[in-house]
A and B are shown apart, each in its own frame.
Chain A
Amino acid sequence: MIRDGFFRIPRLAWAVVLLLAGSGVGPSEGADVFLGVTRSEASRIPLGLLHVVTPSDLARHSSEIRTVLEGDLRRSQVFRMVHPPFYPELAGGGEPSADLVKKAGRQDLQAAVWISLMAKGEDLALEGRVYDGKTGQMVMGKRYLGEAKHLRAIVHRFSDEIVFQYTGERGVAGTRVVFSSSLTGSKELYLMDYDGYNVRKITNDRGLNLSPTWSPDGNRISYTSYRGGTPAIYTLDMATGRLWKMVGFPGLNISPSWAPSGGELAFASTLDGPTQIYRVDREGRELRRLTVDRSDNLSPAWSPSGAEIAFTSNRGGGPQIYMMNADGTNVRRLTFSGGYNTSPAWSPKGTAIAYACRVDGRLRICAISPDGAKLAQLTAGPGEDESPSWSPDGKHLIFSSTRSSRGDLFMMNADGTEVERLTFSGAKNNSPSWSPK
């Protein structure tokens, strides 16, 4: 059954799993553990923010610091936010005493956070401390210096450090998402923080810019652009601003995907007729064809080891998810449930492949284990959901949905719980890709 600390499948997904099991189509057992480690509320560490100290001229930042930190730690799936009472001893601005922390600890606080914000010249200095509720001792202390406009980034950094302290794995609060949006009438690429804040435009050609994806080091974004007249794959170097056409064969060149090594890019092209999957090296040379077939093959997604590639193919009629070795051999079909399954995304830990599945006429987000044995439908409700992309820690998925607009981006836990809307632009926002770090 469901063990503490393991994945707890939402009621809806269970329903689907049971339905499939009943109809003899798919999985019957073990689906509760294949999507990762979403902790149940009860097994999360109770953490509270004791106080944010600011001089009066910076007091306006204190509620933002609180909101950002609590949002990050809640989403981390590691902590449960509790709200300690206000301790008058802290009002003077001094750090908490061991006795005070222990007092808070007796109120169900395993970890107590205390933050002090100060001006340092033009910049801000944020000192964050974490205390153990039982011993009252400080377990971690960090002082961050940065520009005032980067205050959210500073708090995200501190959140990620807290997650690291308690799990040994950094949080994802400092990550970003690149996506395609029709905000200006054409389709341009935008970046935003992982929580939907700080949306900024990164392409400017007033054409179509689609399917952005990150290189594994986070330094490059590759995407499909019509800027030269036909759809070609361009790569933008984030540090230098250099933009270059990486794949520009006649016809269609789409769905780029970087190998985990960063040494190769897989993509789909109509170079030889129907849409096929190819790979090139990091400079766009050494072309190798991977699929040899008369149907359409596209949307390659590398396994985290780089040994395999999942992709969409309609060789059996409608589009389904297939897998092959990274050299194109050993092709086998992965999805059999439903008539329309596309856009695979391999989880960072390798245990699941998320994809867009059509169920009862609507696109949903589904996930399947690489052996095909375990399957879950993760989204439901109004609208259509597509383009899943994993957070680098594998605990979240971001996807686009028309549930409340023409197309906005939503984040959810890997098991489909805690869906959170991230964009509110009123435009068509789609094809999100979560940065690797």
Chain B
Amino acid sequence: MRNQSFMFLAVIAGLSTVLMLSGCPKKVETAKGTATVQEEKVAPPAETVEPGPAPGPTMEETPISREAEAPSMEKGLGDAFFDYDQYTIREDARGALEMSARWLNGNPTVRVKIEGHCDERGTNEYNLALGERRAQAAKRFLAALGVDENRMSTISYGEERPSCSDMTEGCYAKNRRVHFTVQ
């Protein structure tokens, strides 16, 4: 590429010299024909940036790491895990949710947000619906164990906030979860 442009310049320089030496170049017939050159101003379409962070509740600035999720575990609100593309409560998830129900029933003033999460393998929008199903399933399970529904809200993050970022089955299994945050 670069070599070509050098050659190009050299040819141009050489030719200009020839033209200068030979005086005025002969006028040549140009090929304009009947078409005319139309003029047009070019400016890309207007684009603006949205006006910045919203007032009121905003999201965490960094992706949630497993460390960041630890506090709710100490409170006795452990994550419950799901099978791929499923929102039915597994046997091991029953245990986790029963523990959470005991803790919530023992701390009746606490309100929790139940987050539904998915692994990254499905499509983004479908995973938002699936995450909502998981959060709702956990909420119904807890309500059946006596936790007042008014203390629980749900939100789906789909695959957008993984707790583990490797592309392995072990990681995917950790990301298919409901997670509690105390409000």
Contacts and interface: CB of A to CB of B under 8 A. Distances in A.
**Are A and B co-members of a single complex?**
yes
Interface of A: 59, 62-63, 86, 88, 91-92, 94-101, 127, 129, 131, 135-147, 150, 153-154, 157, 176, 182, 185-187, 191, 200-208, 210-211, 218, 224, 226-231, 234, 236-241, 243, 251-252, 254-255, 268, 270, 274-275, 296, 298-299, 312, 318-319, 340, 342-343, 356, 363, 384, 386-387, 402, 406, 430-431
Interface residues of B, number: 64
Given A145-B40, A208-B59, A251-B132, A59 B47 contact: no
A82 B54 CA distance: 53
Contacts of B57: 228-229
Contacts of B122: 340, 342
B35 A140 contact: yes
Contact of A207 (B30, B58, B155): B58
Interface of B: 1, 5, 8-9, 11-12, 15-16, 19, 25, 28-54, 56-59, 61-63, 85, 121-126, 128-130, 132-133, 154-158, 160-161, 167
A88 B11 contact: yes
Contacts of B59: 186, 205-208, 226-227
A386 B56 contact: no
A430 B42 contact: no
B179 to A, nearest CB: 15
A63 B34 contact: no
A186 B63 CA distance: 6
Given A205-B52, A211-B124, A143 B155 contact: no
B45 to A, nearest CB: 7
Contacts of B130: 296
B37 A143 contact: yes
A182 B159 CA distance: 12
Contact of A298 (B8, B39, B129, B154): B129
B46 A238 contact: yes
Contacts of B12: 91
A98 B28 CA distance: 9
A379 to B, nearest CB: 14
B183 to A, nearest CB: 11
B128 A146 contact: no
A386 B42 contact: no
A275 B132 contact: yes
Contacts of B125: 210-211, 254-255, 268, 298-299, 312, 342-343
Nearest to A201: B49
A210 to B, nearest CB: 7
13 contacts: A95-B32, A97-B29, A137-B33, A185-B63, A208-B160, A296-B126, A296-B130, A298-B128, A319-B126, A340-B122, A342-B123, A384-B121, A431-B124
Contact of B44 (A150, A252, A270): A150
B53 A205 contact: yes
A318 B85 contact: yes
B135 to A, nearest CB: 10
A182 B64 CA distance: 13
Contact of B5 (A59, A91, A131, A298): A59
Given A99-B29, A238-B46, 12 more contacts: A97-B31, A137-B31, A144-B41, A150-B44, A185-B63, A205-B54, A227-B58, A227-B59, A238-B45, A252-B132, A298-B129, A340-B85
Contact of B39 (A63, A145, A228, A343): A145
A342 B128 CA distance: 13
Contacts of A135: 33
B37 A202 contact: no
Given A92-B16, A205-B54, A318-B85, A143 B38 contact: yes
B36 A141 contact: yes
Contacts of A207: 58-59
A63 B85 contact: no
A177 to B, nearest CB: 13
Given A142-B40, A206-B58, A254 B33 contact: no
B47 A238 contact: yes
Given A138-B32, A145-B39, A241 B48 contact: yes
Nearest to A211: B125
A200 B45 CA distance: 14
Given A227-B53, A342-B123, A185 B40 contact: no
B14 to A, nearest CB: 8
A202 B50 contact: yes
B155 to A, nearest CB: 6
B123 A204 contact: no
B85 to A, nearest CB: 7
Contacts of B121: 363, 384
